[in-house]
Amino acid sequence: MKIIMKHVIKNIFEKKLRSAIVLLTILLSTLVLFIGLSLNPIINETYSSMLQGSYGNANLVVNKNADDGSPFYETSELDLGELTPLNQLDLIQASGKTKLHEDEKTVSIYGLDTEMATEMDLIDVITGEVKLDHDTVIISQRAALDYSLEIGDRLEVTRGNDTYEFVVGGVSKPDGLFHSEKGNLLLITDSQKVNDMYGISSMVASTLLQVPAEELDSVITSLREGNKHFAVQKINDAETILRDEQTFQMVMMLSIIIIVLISAYVISSLTKLIITERLPVMGTFRSVGAHKGMMNRVLFLEFFVYGVIGSVFGMVLAVILLPYAADVFNEYKEYGVETIVTYDVVYLLTALLFGMLFPAFISFFRILKANRKPLKEVLFDTSFTPEKRSKWTVILGILFLALSFLLYFLNKYDGILLAILSLLLLFISVVMLMPTLLNGISNIMQMIMRSSSSGELKLGIKNIAGNKIVANNVSMIMVVFLLLLMVGISSAGIDRYVTNTLKKDFDITLSLPSNNQAIANEIKEMDGVSASYEQFISLGTSTLNNVEASFVIQGVHDFMEMDDFFEGITYVDIDKDKLTSHKNAIILDEYMTKKYNLSIGDSIEIQPVDLNNEPIEHSKPMEMIVSGTMDSSGFSSSRNSAFIPQPFFEAYFAGIFHELILRVENGYTADEVKESITDTYINHDLEVVTFDEMLGSQKATIDTLIDGITMIIGLGMVVGILGISNNLMVSFNQRKKEYAILYSVCMSKGQIVRMLLSEMLTTFLAVVIIGLFGGIALNILLTKLLYAIGMQTEFDFTFGLFGLLCLVVIILLSLSSLSLVRKVFKLNMIKELRYE
């Protein structure tokens, strides 16, 4: 055992470069796997703690919900009944403008009890006073830094025709309430000052309550009972939908799968090469009596040692790098939101085990296969013998290719498993067909070059056809190439969806607090609003052909008006009779009707569900009659919108969202109207978003996502390049003898170099040709996978990315050829020719 260990360690040290490449590959794949797995929970945690943080320890928010035109109330109006909350904070807000460094800034002024706010972790004063005088305010550390404000500085805030003067009295950490500051300025002062601004006294506009978490639900129920004129909401519910977690997670998963596949492929082909290289030595050992088992253990142990070293280092590096990687994905970083990094033991072990065991696992099969070779073949180094094109490999390859497309056509419901399987089959078939494809390309090239008198160029082209190592190399390049292309196609598609497909059919959207119809009616009549549409949205699921489908259900008063208002919606086929005669009519997206083979007149059962996809209490599946189809792709990427008549909606589906969509009159800008809405309703907790802001934030999300993907592509490329350069290096070592023979019989070193260059160019050509067809096939099959994860948009083969990848390949090949050229000139031919 000791001897074997010694041999293993010696092997690893003897081939320093090789070992470095193997270790680096294992290191990187462990690293990426761990970071990839850890990111989503970290980002969720960060966002939810940010949201949580905005409200400190509070878990309930109460607003007035009466039609009397005033958002304000006295604290005593709120009937807490039996409840004595752990903490209670009353808030009143006003807005204004100020000039900072010549820039006009929107100012929000919060009036509240600063000592209670400190208690509830809503503010955290680090310099200055917590207790405020009448005119003093607390600002955030970020504002202090950005606008170089200090304690004692004066701020002039205008509001309409009035001007107010404040003095900076304290600076808080940019957490808690200051999370919402973002680009604007937030001032915290006492509530009397804000009351004065409105000309009222002792009024508040919302109340934050902290109640024991386990009593939350019962408290909500009893509060709602006792306060009919108030809206009581859990703090999380209101805002968690901000982040498109599913898309993020899916893209992340896709990237992890890809990087693991690349690593797996690289590691597996490295083991193959190393074993092929070691075989003659092993053969010698065996010929002097060492038994097979011992040899196997040596090889196996060697890979295990690689795995252990590589994964441990990879893990250490991953643990160090995780905070930085997570920062890349933290969109709110610039607003001072700190990334909360947690290390999950399960992910840590998963990645560690993968890195440790995968190389050994793969090598196990390779060793078994190698052992089947007779001793004679092992002894006489036959590794550079021509690739034997087995008929079966070709047939199987073609079969797999056909199967992958068959699966594509069979996969009518865009099932994710079938989609992945069909992609996997494509990759396997490309690898299996590689020798045949190379042979074909080489033959065509030979025909083209037939009249050329340059023997070395022709020999180079010929070598591509029959050389196992070249085939292996091109396979590796191809797999990495296609995987990267896959990531590229998906991210380009998503990006384009956001920028082009999303139809601009509104200027402003705002979500209304639970059914506050009074505000909705007021806003519709505001100056600057030209048209408006009120949306009532809920969720539902349905089991269609044994597949669970989910729908975003909208109650619609007038289907034609809806169509007129939204450009993103086009009715394809409408049965007007059914729409008017059936109270349970439904219009579905044609994507859905095609997918589930529904036609007009069919009935489906839809179960109303809540945000967590749980059936809503006291609800039952409702039978709906398909009465029309539409194209809603400009409306939502999932194409799962469904419209039903408003009365039916109100009777059976709880309205989860109530949104008001506005168009702005000529002469007004969306920002102006937004501002006047937020000014007027500053105390109503309205989420007002302009189209450009929405697009911008979606774009920002996508951009972070694409940054992350780029990072992953980069790492994948590094792993790929490591593998490929290792392959090229090994191929040189294995072909030294071939070069020496050619040199001794008929070729100058210059001719050998030209032969290698011609091999390189043919390889490149093969990569371009196979990559093009493979990429197009990939593009077709990939669409299913992306549909399966809810992105129903067009995905195009991107020639830009294709070109970029080709460029990378040619650079890589040129660099490696350069080193080959140097090696050929330095090669000791005699040493290679001798056979002692």
Partner 1 sequence: MNRELGRHEEMASMIRTEKLCKSFKVGSNDIAVINDVDITIDSGDFVSIMGPSGSGKSTLLYLLGGIDEPTSGRVFFQEKDINQMKDKEKSRLRRTSMGFVFQFYNLVQNLTVEENILLPVTMDRKKPADYHEQLNEILEIVGLSERRNYTPRELSGGQQQRVAIARALILNPALILADEPIGNLDSKTGTEIMELFYRINKEKGITIVQVTHSEEAAEYGNRLIRMKDGMVQEPVFISK
829 binds partner 1 (CB under 8 A): yes
Site string for partner 1, 716-755 (x = CB under 8 A): ---------------------xx--xxxxxxxxxxx----
Number of neighbouring beta carbons within 10 Å of residue 186: 24
Read off φ and ψ for residue 230, nearest 5 degrees: -125, 150
Q: State the first-to-last Cα distance of the chain, in angstroms, to the nearest integer.
A: 31
Helix, strand or coil for residue 154? Answer: strand
Smallest distance, partner 1 to C-beta of residue 634, A: 57
**Residues in region 379-408 near partner 1 by CB under 8 A:** 382, 384-386
Which amino acid is residue 586, in one-letter code? Answer: I
Binding mask 466-505 for partner 1 (x = CB under 8 A): xx--------------------------------------
Q: Which stretch binds partner 1 (CB under 8 A): 15-23, 459-467, 592-600, 663-671?
A: 459-467
CA distances from 320 to 34, 317, 343, 571, 746 (A): 12, 5, 11, 53, 56
Of residues 456, 659, 685, 759, which one binds partner 1 by CB under 8 A?
Answer: 456
Q: Based on CB atoms, which residue is closest to partner 1, 618 or 834?
A: 834
Distance in angstroms (rounded) separating the CA atoms of residues 661 and 560: 16
Judged by CB under 8 A, the stretch of 250-258, 404-412, 455-463, 637-645 that binds partner 1 is 455-463
Q: Which SS3 state, helix, strand or coil, does residue 386 take?
A: strand
Task: Evaluate whether 157 touches 98 at the Cβ level (below 8 Å).
Answer: yes
> Interacting stretch for partner 1, rule CB under 8 A, among 461-469, 573-581, 617-625, 696-704?
461-469
Q: Distance (Å, rounded) from C-alpha 307 to C-alpha 352?
A: 9
Q: Taking the complex as a whole, how short is the minimal distance between the CB of residue 457 and partner 1, in angstroms? A: 10
C-alpha–C-alpha distance, residues 313 and 320, integer Å: 11
CB of 730 to partner 1, least distance (A): 17
Give me the least distance between CB of 822 and partner 1, in Å please.
15
* 52 token code pair: 């949580």
Tell me how far, at minimum, the Cβ of 382 lies from partner 1, in Å. 7
The DSSP code sequence of 288-318 is TT--HHHHHHHHHHHHHHHHHHHHHHHHHHH
The site map against partner 1 for 569-608 (x = CB under 8 A) is: ----------------------------------------
Nearer to partner 1, 44 or 393 (CB): 393
Stretch of residues binding partner 1 (CB under 8 A), selected from 254-262, 450-458, 543-551, 655-663: 450-458
Residue 453 binds partner 1, judged by CB under 8 A? yes
**Do 789 and 416 form a contact (C-beta atoms < 8 A)?**
yes
Q: How far is the CB of 813 from partner 1 (least distance, A)?
A: 20
> Rounded to whole angstroms, how far apart are CA atoms 416 and 423?
11
Beta bridge partners of 467: 386
Environment class of residue 714 by beta-carbon count within 10 Å: exposed (0-12), middle (13-18) or buried (19+)?
exposed
Which one, 346 or 447, has the nearer CB to partner 1?
Answer: 447
Contact status: 376 vs partner 1 (CB under 8 A): no
Minimum distance, C-beta of residue 827 to partner 1, in the bound complex (Å): 12
CA dist., res. 826 & res. 180, Å (int): 66
- 830 lines the binding site for partner 1 (CB under 8 A): yes
4 in helix, strand or coil? helix
- Tokens found for residue 668: 């007004």
Q: Which of 727, 724, 553 is nearest to 638 (CA)?
A: 553
Using CA of residue 152, residue 153, residue 158, residue 161, what is the dihedral sign? positive
Which is closer to partner 1, CB of 480 or CB of 752?
Answer: 752
**Segment interacting with partner 1, rule: CB under 8 A, options 345-353, 453-461, 492-500, 805-813:** 453-461
Q: 372 or 388, CB closer to partner 1?
A: 388
CA count, 13 A, side-chain hemisphere, 235 = 22
Whichever of 464 and 660 has its CB closer to partner 1, that residue is: 464
Residue 454 as a binder of partner 1 (CB under 8 A): the answer is yes
Identify how many contiguous H helices and E strands the chain contains and give both numbers: 25, 20
Between 291 and 450, CB nearer to partner 1: 450
For residue 288 the two structure tokens come to 């002097």
Span of 271-279, 438-446, 584-592, 825-833 interacting with partner 1 by CB under 8 A: 825-833
In the complex, the smallest distance separating the C-beta of residue 747 from partner 1, rounded to whole angstroms, is 5
- Looking at beta carbons only, is 414 or 456 nearer to partner 1? 456
Instruction: Report, in Å, the least distance between residue 462 CB and partner 1.
Output: 7
Q: Is 546 exposed, middle or buried (0-12, 13-18, 19+ CB in 10 A)?
A: exposed
- Return all residues near 596 (Cβ < 8 A) that are at least 6 apart: 413, 544, 545, 547, 549
Q: What does the binding site for partner 1 look like in residue numbers (CB under 8 A)? A: 382, 384-386, 453-456, 458-459, 462-463, 466-467, 737-738, 741-751, 829-830, 833-835
